[in-house]
Amino acid sequence: MIGLWSVPLLFALPLALGILSLLVTPAWRPRLIFVGLPLLTLASVDVLARLVLEGPRIYELGGWEAPLGINLVVDGLAVGMILMTTLVASLCALYARVYLRDYPASSSFFWPLLWLLWAGMNGIWLAEDIFNLYVGLEVMGLAAVGMVALRATPQALAAAMRYLLAALLGSLAYLLGVALLYATYGTLSMAGLQEAAAPNATTHVALALIILGLLLKTALFPLHAWLPPAHGGALTPVSALLSALVIKGSFYILMRIWLVLGPEVTPIFTAQLLGVLGAGAVFYGGWMAWRQHHLKQLVAYSTVAQIGYLFLFFPLVTGTGPEAARLAWDGTLMMLVAHALAKAALFLSAGNLILAVGSTQISHLVGISRFRPMSLFSFGLAGVSLMGLPPSGGFTGKWLLLHSAILSDQWWWLIVLFLGGLLSAAYIFKVFRMSFREGPQIDRSITPPLTLDVTALILASASILIGLTAHLPLFWLRLGSAFGAG
């Protein structure tokens, strides 16, 4: 047990730093990242190393056995999400340290919220029982709402309020589902549920409640209305964190619960329905993104669209052969990670472009390619991944999903992937078209600090590189899952 200090550290440390940052003066708050980021990086890498060397395991917090103690699951999926969180959140934090100098009032509360958010996310990735998932979800959700409200403008407050109401409704539906499951099976642990689960009416109702609650939190079309104002209107580093990581939290829970209960308990119809909603999200989100005039709104609607791809997981993994299911798992996770990296990069570089021209309007970007090539380059790299063009994580994910769809004879999902890619190309190139245009509108631009460009570029490059080296992360992610050995 000595060696596993890193597992509890992953959520204890951000929690401690969150409290600590409230105790120190606002000027000191950003500096805590120089303690937090290295330690969290170290802990994440340690967890990965142990996973690879010693295999997946269940970790009993404080040595107490469930149900009184809390079990943590350290498998490939959890570790993969932890690494993704560490990478994206660290870079967003570095970005925020520079970016928030212009927003001193918001800055002082950003840092405690960031640590709280981080603790909540790591809690979700590691939780082994459905109730602790709820706790993690709430911690993350409340921190996220606080972050959206940071800007304190009426629009931001309205967006935060709307987000909060959606989140609360979603959590309660989820909680009621958990209550029903516990009443039926007398256990909260995933492993216990997997053994006990049977297709009966209570389970169906519970699962329906859980799914609905999580769909609302993940902002799947048509429950997405809260997302664009919240993500598009927040401060840039907040937008990046929210779009890249937070929505993945609820999707992750859905994915875990589905794999535990779904295939045995739910009718295939439900899986297809989720896929259809995903397709709706891809089309509607892409279409709306293309119609936006504000850069960050465009990026926010792009998130609505990209969430849709993730939901193709359910029809592709349910009632299909083992090979198709494994490809769907690989593809969805690739999509998920690639989207996290690319969307964070897209928001950060969009923020840089907005800083450079001093306007959020896309039409004001005329000729910006001459002045801010680096911001635009990051935007482009991230865009490549979102469009699903090679070589990128988005492409590799799409490839795997296509493969899975063909293998399972569900050709209609091919059309979704096909048109979705073209739609995303339409809205990404809408920005580029403007940036390449030579016009009289601007003859100079403000140069944002280098850190802002570099963090965006690192994330964007990562979204490309992960596609080329997908072999290894996908192997790790499969450790300890039903798709492992093969």
The answer to the question of residue 157 lying near another protein (CB under 8 A) is yes
The answer to the question of residue 373 lying near another protein (CB under 8 A) is yes
| Binders in 306-335 for another protein, by CB under 8 A | 330
Among 390, 441, 447, 482, binds another protein (CB under 8 A): 390
Least distance from C-beta 392 to another protein, angstroms?
10
Q: Are the C-beta atoms of residues 95 and 451 closer than 8 Å to each other?
A: yes
Q: How far is CA 189 from CA 10, 102, 215, 242, in A?
A: 21, 46, 22, 28
Least distance from C-beta 375 to another protein, angstroms?
13
| Binders in 444-473 for another protein, by CB under 8 A | 467-471
The answer to the question of residue 476 lying near another protein (CB under 8 A) is no
Q: Are the C-beta atoms of residues 156 and 149 closer than 8 Å to each other?
A: yes
The answer to the question of residue 268 lying near another protein (CB under 8 A) is no
Among 19, 35, 225, 268, binds another protein (CB under 8 A): 225
Q: Which is nearer to another protein, 188 or 310 (CB)?
A: 188
Q: Are the C-beta atoms of residues 345 and 456 closer than 8 Å to each other?
A: yes
Judged by CB under 8 A, which stretch of 11-19, 245-253, 347-355, 363-371 contacts another protein? Answer: 363-371
Least distance from C-beta 75 to another protein, angstroms?
19
Least distance from C-beta 344 to another protein, angstroms?
21
Q: Which of 152, 277, 279, 155 is nearest to 228 (CA)?
A: 155
| Binders in 109-148 for another protein, by CB under 8 A | 131, 134-135, 138, 142, 145-146
Task: Describe the crossing of helices 322-357 and 247-265 by its angle, rounded to 10 degrees.
Answer: 160
Q: How many residues bind another protein (CB under 8 A)?
A: 70
Assigned token pair, 146:
């606080």
Q: Which is nearer to another protein, 75 or 330 (CB)?
A: 330
Least distance from C-beta 453 to another protein, angstroms?
12
Judged by CB under 8 A, which stretch of 19-27, 47-55, 151-159, 308-316 contacts another protein? Answer: 151-159
Least distance from C-beta 200 to another protein, angstroms?
14
The answer to the question of residue 176 lying near another protein (CB under 8 A) is yes
Give 247's contacts (C-beta < 8 A, 6+ positions apart). Answer: 217, 218, 219, 227, 303, 307
Least distance from C-beta 76 to another protein, angstroms?
15
The answer to the question of residue 377 lying near another protein (CB under 8 A) is yes
| Binders in 41-70 for another protein, by CB under 8 A | 67-68
The answer to the question of residue 425 lying near another protein (CB under 8 A) is yes
Judged by CB under 8 A, which stretch of 37-45, 96-104, 169-177, 283-291 contacts another protein? Answer: 169-177
- The C-alpha atoms of residue 231 and residue 226 are separated, in whole angstroms, by 9
Least distance from C-beta 154 to another protein, angstroms?
4
Least distance from C-beta 371 to another protein, angstroms?
10
Q: Which is nearer to another protein, 390 or 484 (CB)?
A: 390
Q: Which is nearer to another protein, 58 or 157 (CB)?
A: 157
The answer to the question of residue 429 lying near another protein (CB under 8 A) is yes
Residues of this chain that bind another protein (CB under 8 A) = 67-68, 131, 134-135, 138, 142, 145-146, 149, 152-154, 157-158, 160-162, 164-165, 168-169, 171-172, 175-176, 179-180, 182-183, 186, 188, 225, 330, 367, 369-370, 373, 377, 380, 384, 389-391, 395-396, 399-400, 402-403, 406-407, 414, 418, 421-422, 425, 429, 432-433, 436-439, 467-471, 474
